[in-house]
Copies of this chain bind each other. A is one copy, B any other.
Amino acid sequence: MGRGKIAIERIENTINRQVTFSKRRGGLIKKARELAILCDADLALIVFSSTGRLYDYASSSGMKAIIERYQQEKEENRGVLNPTSEAKV
């Protein structure tokens, strides 16, 4: 997008990389929020920039609850090859 097309590979220029990070981070969080609202999904996003700063977003139930739900889900599916039994719609 934008004035030119770019390849999906690490941006070597530091300034450029940080500018792109700021722009895309905003876009990603916006999309995450939209998905949560439009589709009634429960989601969490954690982002650490290459300089170590943390940015995050979590839908209404909250980051802590989502992480716990994730861990619980992983725990339950341990050893399950086809976890599409009853949840698939």
The contact string, 1 if C-beta is below 8 Å from chain B, for chain A 20-59, is 1100110110011111011111111111111111101000
Is there an interface contact between A24 and B28, defined as CB atoms closer than 8 Å?
no
How many Å lie between the Cα of A43 and that of B73 in the bound state? 20
- Among residues of B, the one whose C-beta sits closest to the C-beta of A58 is B46
Size class of the A contact interface (CB-based, 8 Å): 35 or more
> How many angstroms from the CA of A48 to the CA of B9 in the assembled complex?
29
- A9 near B38 with CB under 8 A, answer yes
B11–A39 touching, CB < 8 Å? yes
Residues of A bordering B, CB below 8 Å = 6, 8-11, 17-18, 20-21, 24-25, 27-28, 31-35, 37-54, 56, 63, 66-67, 69-70, 73, 87-89
